[in-house]
Amino acid sequence: MSDLALVGIDLGKHTFHLHGQDKPGRELFRKKLSRQQMMRFFANLPACTVVMEACAGAHFVARELTALGHQAKLISPQFVKPFVKGNKNDFVDAQAICEAASRPTMRFVSPKTEAQQTLSVLHRLRESLIRDRTKAVNQMHGFLLEFGISLPQGLAMMKRLAVILAEHEMPIRLTILLQRLHEHFFYLDEQIQELDKELAGQLADDDLGRRLLGMPCVGPITASLLAVEIGDGKQYGCSRDFAASVGLVPRQYSTGGKANLLGISKRGDKNLRRLLVQCARVYMLHLDRQKGPLALWVRSLLMRRHANVVACALANKLARIAWAIAAHHTEFEAGSDSMAA
């Protein structure tokens, strides 16, 4: 194993397929191991580079391998697929991971820490609860509409449901079912509020999160999610790379020397992209109160572009500012030309 340079792992729930090769790319071994066997194998293996796809469980395995002295790298699955040769199987996938990692221009995903993964789980749980709450509200509107009761939109009307039910005569069984759905709505709403408090508490202990809160129209939810995605910012070469990873740069279809830019690519985390666009729209809504180079740039852009285009451009700018704050360990200053650029 002295010539071993690279190990590719095709991750699974219970079994893991390993492909080892030397620097020229010659195969040295193929192994199918359980999780415990794999960790014992790497504990007895000289330090090498271990590569795997960025999928479920990959960040945990990367942290464990790093603790054993290996260099763990993660690759986006879409970059591995072109290197799969012949029929697809687990060993071929592991070999394709090694082949993709051998490319000098390959881009890797930074392994997340436990704190970052925990915060990511909190965000995903919160989004799931919000979808369930919206579903409960829509069901309530639909059920009442079938009996001729039309409610205004918004969550505020849900709190007055008891008064609304008392004002209209409906079957007793229907009233009981609606009350049960109403109680479910309040349960979901309380869970969301508790998660918001927990999110604010975690953000108070995060230095990067506190600095991101200084950005215009960025609240705790956006700041915490930005902190999770950016990390220290070293995995991105520049601010545009981070904006591109969120899908806030134009798609390009150029040929024959003619550049053709389309709409934004919409790649990466759609939740983070949605939050940044919302922050941009809030900023534009209160543009008359804003000062500094960023506000002047937005005003000049609004004179020649549609508001939706400006919102995406401003969201791109906010993503770049967030990267600069993380990578250069600075804070946002409204009057700073360098930070607004």
Cα distance between residue 114 and residue 314, in whole Å? 31
User: Is residue 1 predicted with pLDDT exceeding 70?
Assistant: no
Please report which helix (H) or strand (E) contains residue 298, including its range: helix 293-302
State the pLDDT at residue 154: 74
State the pLDDT at residue 335: 59
Is the separation of the CB atoms in 80 and 73 below 8 Å?
no
Instruction: Count each helix (H run) and each strand (E run) in the chain, helices first.
Output: 14, 7
Average pLDDT over all residues of the chain: 87
Among 149, 158, 151, smallest CA distance to 179 is for: 158
3-class SS of residue 151: coil
For the beta sheet containing 15-21, the strands, ordered from the edge strand earlier in sequence to the opposite edge, are: 27-34, 15-21, 6-10, 49-53, 71-75
Q: Which residue has the higher pLDDT, 79 or 233?
A: 79
Q: What is the pLDDT of residues 3-16, one digit of tens each?
A: 888 999 999 999 99
Q: Return the structure tokens found at 278.
A: 């919302």
Q: What is the pLDDT of residues 150-209, one digit of tens each?
A: 877 777 777 777 777 777 777 888 888 888 998 999 999 999 999 999 888 888 778 888
Residue 194 CB coordination number (10 Å): 12
Cα distance between residue 52 and residue 71, in whole Å? 11
Among 321, 311, 313, smallest CA distance to 215 is for: 321
Q: Return the structure tokens found at 15.
A: 């079994």
Is the separation of the CB atoms in 20 and 27 below 8 Å?
yes
Q: What is the rounded average pLDDT of the residues 302-319?
A: 92
Residues constituting the chain: 341
Residue 336 CB coordination number (10 Å): 16
Is the separation of the CB atoms in 51 and 98 below 8 Å?
yes
Q: What is the rounded average pLDDT of the residues 94-121?
A: 89
Residue 103 CB coordination number (10 Å): 11
| Percent of residues, the chain, with pLDDT higher than 70 | 97
Tell me the C-alpha to C-alpha distance, in Å, between residue 17 and each of 37, 95, 223, 277, 305. 11, 10, 38, 41, 52
Q: Cβ contacts of residue 191 below 8 Å, gap of 6+?
A: 129
34: phi then psi, degrees, rounded to nearest 5: -80, 175
Q: Return the structure tokens found at 126.
A: 């919160």
Quote the pTM value. 0.80
State the pLDDT at residue 157: 74
User: Is residue 289 predicted with pLDDT exceeding 60?
Assistant: yes
Q: Return the structure tokens found at 19.
A: 């492909």
